[in-house]
Structure formats: C-alpha cells, structure tokens
Structure 1
Amino acid sequence: MDAFSYLSVLLSIILGLAITQVLQGVRGLLLSRRHVRPYPPVLLWAGTILLMAVQMWWASFGLADHAEWTFAEFGIVLVQTTLLYMLAALVLPDFALHEPADLREHYYRETRPFFAILVAILLVSGFKDLIIDGYLPSGINLLFHAAFAAIALACSISRRARLHEISAVAIAAMVVVYIALLFARLG
C-alpha cells in the first residue's frame, strides 16, 4: 500500500461522516416535516455541503501522485476535511420527533460559526496548495476562493435575510461551476 492509500483512509472516513451528518439531518427533517418550519437557504446549504464533500473526496485523488508526505502536508489536508465535517454538523439542527423545529431560527443562531468555518476551509485550502505544491492557488481557482470568502464574510457579519437567501443560491451555483471548470475529470 502506498502512502496516499494509507493516509486517504482517514480522510475518507471524515468525509463519509460529513456526508452522513447531512443525510441524517435530511432524514430528521423528513421524519419531522409536520413540525418543521422550512427555510430554503438551509436546504440549499445542505445540498451544497454534500456537493462540497463529494468534490473534496474527488479532488483528493489528485494527491495520489504526491510521493513524499510530511506530517504538515497530511495535517493540512486533515484540517480541511475536519472543517468540512464541522460545517456539515452545523447546517441542520438535531431533530426530535414531534417537536417543532424552525430552520430559519437555527440558521441565524449558527450563522457566525457556520460562515467562520467556511472561511477557514477556504484559507486552509489555499495553505494546503502552498504546503503541498509550494504555491498558492492562482487563476480561476484563486478567483473562486476569493469570491466564496467574500460572500462568506458578508454573511458572517450581516443578518439581512435577503443577503443570506441570495448568497445560498449564488454559492450553490458557484460550487457547481467551480467543479465543472476545475474538477470535471479525475486526475
């Protein structure tokens, strides 16, 4: 077994837990649907986080060619996946059957930590490229990182509902475009 195959097991477990966290939240939402007050940005973010987890797993295959791993290199990748798990853990509340849940209230209660973690993921992603490849993201990759970070920072500061609603749609669309442009093919 090569080094990456060994190291990728832990990363895959954490990404699997992130996906499970969101899917369990969706399950809870479905089972408690009569008692849940929906809020579309939460649902969009749940889908976006699932897509981000799958993209992170897909992109990790690009690390398979990295021959010599240091603890710092593995650590930065581990931090990135762990932060994504934390984002997944915050997006949906824990549902209790037959108890009311307000997704809007949950969303705004968790806004600051949620978007702080999103910004941290973006910063770690840039540092990951620097630590592993020796350079920061450039071109379209840097442009997407900057746009995601700007939106996340605005959302972490403002509680204006319209901003959050538009941002959820914008980031979901941007993640799709980002994947289509930079990660459509494996390798």
Structure 2
Amino acid sequence: MSKFEYLSVLTSIIIGLAIANLLSGAARLIQLRHRVRPHATTFCWMAMLFLANMQIWWVAFERRDSAAFSFFAFLLYLAMPIGVFLASYLVLPDLGDEDQADLAANFDGNRPWFFGLLGSVPVVSLLEEGLRDGYLPHDTDAAFRLFFAGFCVVAACIRSPRFQFWNALLALACFVAYVGVLFLQLR
C-alpha cells in the first residue's frame, strides 16, 4: 500500500460521511414532504455541497505521485473535507419524525457558521497547495477560490432571504462552471 493510498482512506471516509448526510437528508425531505416546507436556498446549497465533496475527492487523486507527506501538511489537507462535511451537516436541520422542520429558519440560524466553514475551504486549499508546491498559486483558479471565500464572508453577514437565494443559485452555477473548466478530466 502506498502512502497516498493509506492517507486517502481517511479523506474518503470524511467525504463519504458528508455525502451520506446530504443524500440521507434528501431522502428524509422526500419522506417528510408533507411536513417540510421547501426551501430553494437549502436545496441549492445541498447540490453545491455534493459537488464540492465530489470535487475534493476527485482532486485528491492529483496527490498520488507525491513522495513527501508530513503530518501537519496532511492535517491542513484534511481541513478541506472536514470543512465541507461540517457545512453539509449544518445545511439541514435534524429531520426526525416528531415535528416539522423549518429549512429556512435552520439556514438563517446556521448562516454565519455555514459560510464561515464554507469560506475557509478555498483559503485552506490555497495554503495547502502553497505548502505542497512551495509557492502560492496566482492563476485563475486561485482567483476563483479567493473570490468564493470573500463572497462567503459577505453572505455570512446578509440575512435577506432573497439575497441568500440568488447567492446560492449563483454559487451553484459558478461552482459547476469551475468544475467544468478545471476538473472534467482526471489528471
């Protein structure tokens, strides 16, 4: 077993837990459709977080040829799937059978934490890449990550449901374009 294979197991577990949470949450929303009022903002973020989890897992393959792994560099790398896992958990309320879940209130209540965690992921990815490569990237990819992090800071501060809906829709569209441009082929 290579170092990459060994370390990728933990990364895959964290990503798998995040995806399982999103998918089981989606299934529970279908089951509870008569008691849970739909919230488009939450649905957009669920889709975006699913893609983000998949993208982190997909990009992890680029590290397969890396010969040097240090404990702290790996911790920094793990901060990305951990951040997306936590955001994936916060995007949905507990969907138990007893009461009605309020998706909008859950999103608004978790908004600062949600965007704080989500905005930290691209910053951590830039730092991890800089530590791994010995320099900070300064290309279009890095610009997108910094823009996304900045936009998360703004979104954390704005309560407007209308803003949050358009923000979620724009983030989803931009992330789909980002993945489409940079990550369609496994490198």
TM-score, normalization by structure 2: 0.96
Q: After TM superposition, give the deviation of residue 160 of structure 1 in Å.
A: 1.4
CA distance in 2, matches of 1:132, 1:87: 25
CA distance in 2, matches of 1:103, 1:91: 8
1:91 aligns with 2:72: no
CA contact (8 A) 1:32 1:96 kept: no
Q: After TM superposition, give the deviation of residue 98 of structure 1 in Å.
A: 5.2
Cα RMSD (Å) of the superposition?
1.1
CA distance in 1, matches of 2:49, 2:76: 19
CA contact (8 A) 1:119 1:153 kept: yes
CA distance in 1, matches of 2:32, 2:96: 7
Give the ranges of 4+ consecutive aligned residues of structure 1 lying more than 3 Å apart after TM superposition: none
1:177 aligns with 2:177: yes
1:163 aligns with 2:163: yes
CA contact (8 A) 1:28 1:94 kept: no
CA contact (8 A) 2:123 2:146 kept: no
CA distance in 2, matches of 1:169, 1:144: 16
Deviations for 1:90-146, whole angstroms, at most 9, x for unmatched residues? 111111225211111111011000000011112111111111111223211112112
1:19 aligns with 2:19: yes
In the comparison of the two structures, how many residue pairs are matched?
187
1:119 aligns with 2:109: no
* Counterpart position of 2:101: 101
**Percent identity of the aligned residues?**
33
* One-letter identity of the residue aligned with 1:27: A
